[in-house]
Structure 1
Amino acid sequence: MSDRIDRMGRLLVVVVGVLVAALVGWLLFVEYVTNIADLLGILLVILVAGVGLRLASGFAGSKFPQYNVAEVGVEGPITRDGGGSKPIPTGPVGATADEIVDQVEQADDDPAVDALLVHLNTPGGEVVPSDDIRNAVEAFDGPTVAYATDVCASGGYWIASGCDELWARDLSVVGSIGVIGSRPNLADLAERLGVSYEQFTAGEYKDAGTPLKQIEPEEREYLQSIIDDLYGKFVGRVSEGRELTEGEIRETEARVYLGDDAAEMGLVDSLGTKEAVKDRLEEELGEEVTVREFEPQRGPLARVGMGARTVAYAFGAGLASRIDADGLGFEFRT
């Protein structure tokens, strides 16, 4: 009954808005401006009516929302800024972690939204941005369901563990609960080219992981300890969110599994299409579900920049990015 009233209310607001705009246009451009050709007046009336339709539709949409579930997508590598701080993109450009967090918070603040659907198609990415998204999802006031399509690995699974349920397809690739630290070793190449590395640092491990010198045993131990600590936190997050023991999670050995195998192991709650997920949300909410996709709000310059990085990756920058674009340092990824 309330849904029918909402539809009638939206229709009434739109009709009234169009009639008012058309009347204003007629008075301004036909009735009182006699020196303007009738045709031009009619065109201007139509233009004003169109503007009125758009404004009235927006107002009606805000007053009588047609959705009760928000969908937020996490697609491509998870990064803080979409790879924008690096001269070479690290992968296909999707929404940045900060944008995704903002979308989740907008959905949480929207009085029309009763549940959150997190669409995951990501191989993982940076550790802290993944945790930021997970925290935002976990803080959402209402049911949260993660839905994996092609890939839900590593940082993607980190995020999924903060949701109430995780759904996947039977052929989805799920898992990779692990952490990797990487550095290119250019020491031999530098030696052949006659390039030497001179150290000017304060602190014994300040240049640990620098690619222009061979890594020392104590440096390797130090960096591995960071990897182990991050892995322990990852396992703890998943154990808490998925109600699995830490031993069960470590036994996966950071492998990936197809959806049906992941479901048998308890890494996934249910298998099904997006329609099945919507049916589950309808069961949870006790009413018909309409999903609205929340997207990043970007200005023209930001859209151009993201588009340029996408084109750069498509032309082969992804291959080049396998070498640390900063030229220094040790990179941690989930």
Structure 2
Amino acid sequence: MDAETRFVRAAVTFLGTVVGLLVGLVVFQVVPETPYGTVEVLLTVATTAAFAVVAGRLARNVFPAYNVAEVAVEGPITRDGGGSLVSSPVGATADEIVEQIDRADDDSGVDALLVKLNTPGGEVVPSDDIRLAAERFDGPTVAYTNDLCASGGYWIASGCDELWARDGTLVGSIGVRLGNLNLKELGDRVGVDYNELTAGEYKNAGSPFEEFTEDDRAYLQDLVDSWYDEFVDVVAEGRGLDDELVRDTEARVYLGEEAVELGLVDELGTRDDVEARVESLLGQSVTVEEFRPQRRLRARMMLGATRVAYAAGAGVASVFDGDDEVELKL
């Protein structure tokens, strides 16, 4: 925060405090025309304090101490933030992230947006919602990743003006997968009979309790191909790349330097380098404010309990970890 901003904020807060004192004196002494006793003093002090708090908040909102907002996308990208059976429920939900970006866009003190991406990807539509929010932001949007920016994370990066990474960062995985766990044969062996009523030939395509037919495979593969075509188009348009180059990646991930050579990443650098880049874009020094979800106390407690439960489950699972690995794809 520069000296001028500090002075203005202090002046606004002081003025509000003086107004509060005058209001307290008038309301609790002048108007009732009563002796100024202990009760009146306490009420005046309370009024003065209330005005000071309101004035302080007003000063912070009108004259913010930051000019760049940072929003983090970490962990699996989901609508509800619950993660999956094999991934930790960390980070904000897609809707919360969109809300933070929109809040930053509405903040008159925010001139640029940083998007921190450390994610293996996730659901298609929630990823696209975040990308569209980044595109809507009125100002420079610079994304950066330290560890992993894959699949849905890269989908989001395509909506930003620039993407920065580190030498050892994994970037890419421009592809789509759709899997299902089929229990039909197991059910037949143990004598479990599953009855399902449907309308429409492909309504139960991919059901874990029905035989996975070639028609089902062709139908679902067509959906995956359509999602993949959309992914390629989004990346090609957002990153200014040729469609064939994007397809030639074959959903591989690349280390930072090779990602730069392919055009998947703009520059390599640390978080400080990214901040310096934003300063050059704005032509002024920057102060970054991290925008976080404004969760209620109950929601924060539930998220904490979920993380504890995941950690406990992961610890138990590690005891029984063997050579065979089973992956559940949703």
Do these two structures clear the TM 0.5 threshold for a shared fold by scoring above it?
Answer: yes
1:183 is aligned, of 171, 180, 184, to: 180
Partner of 2:32: none
Q: Is structure 2 residue 127 aligned with structure 1 residue 121?
A: no
Contact map agreement 2:82 2:89 (CA 8 A) in 1? no
Matches of 2:68 and 2:210, distance apart in 1? 53
Higher relative contact order (CA 8 A, sep 6+): 1
For each residue in 1:139-179, what CA deviation from the matched residue of structure 2 results, as whole angstroms up to 9, or x when unmatched? 11111110112111100000001101000111111111111
Establish whether residue 80 from structure 1 lines up as the match of residue 79 from structure 2: yes
2:192 paired residue number:
195
Pairs within 5 Å for 1:214-225: 214-225=211-222
CA distance in 1, matches of 2:268, 2:277: 11
**1:11 partnered with 2:10:** yes
Shift of 1:6: 2.4
Q: Does 1:165 align with 2:167?
A: no
Note the alpha carbon deviations across 1:247-296, whole angstroms, 9 max, x for none: 11111111111112211211100011111111111111111111111111
- Find the aligned partners of 2:167 and 2:297 in 1 and give their Cα distance: 39
SS of match in other structure, 1:149: coil
Give the distance between the partners of 2:49 and 2:118, measured in 1 at CA.
38
Q: 1:178/1:89 Cα in 2 relative to 1: closer, same or farther (>3 Å)? A: closer
Between the aligned partners of 2:59 and 2:220, the Cα distance in structure 1 is 56
Structure 2 gap segments, 5+ residues each = 29-34, 319-325
* Aligned AA (2:91): G
Conserved 8 A contact 1:125-1:155:
yes
| Amino acid across the alignment from 1:127 | V
Q: Does the 8 Å CA contact 1:178/1:254 hold for their aligned counterparts? A: yes
Alignment of 1:1-334 (within 5 A): 4-17=3-16, 32-34=36-38, 54-83=53-82, 90-316=87-313, 331=330
C-alpha separation between the residues in 2 aligned to 1:117 and 1:34? 52
Cα distance in 1 for residues equivalent to 2:262 and 2:49: 56
The separation in 2 between residues aligned to 1:189 and 1:308, in whole angstroms, is 34
**In 1, distance between residues paired with 2:39 and 2:64?**
44
C-alpha change, 1:64 and 1:224, in structure 2 (3 Å) is same
1:99 aligned counterpart, secondary structure? helix
TM-score, normalisation: structure 2: 0.85
Distance 1:270 1:242 in 2: 13
1:74 partner amino acid: V
| CA separation of 1:291 and 1:24: change in aligned 2, threshold 3 A | same
List alignment gaps of at least 5 residues for structure 1. Answer: 325-329
Alignment deviations for residues 197-230 of structure 1 (CA, whole Å, 9 cap, x no partner) = 3342111111110112331011111111111110
Separation in 1 of the partners of 2:172 and 2:39?
72
Give, in whole Å, the separation in 2 of the partners of 1:274 and 1:50. Answer: 40
- Across the aligned residues of Structure 1 and Structure 2, the Cα RMSD in angstroms comes to 3.1
Tell me how far apart the structure 2 counterparts of residues 48 and 273 of structure 1 sit (CA, whole Å).
Answer: 48
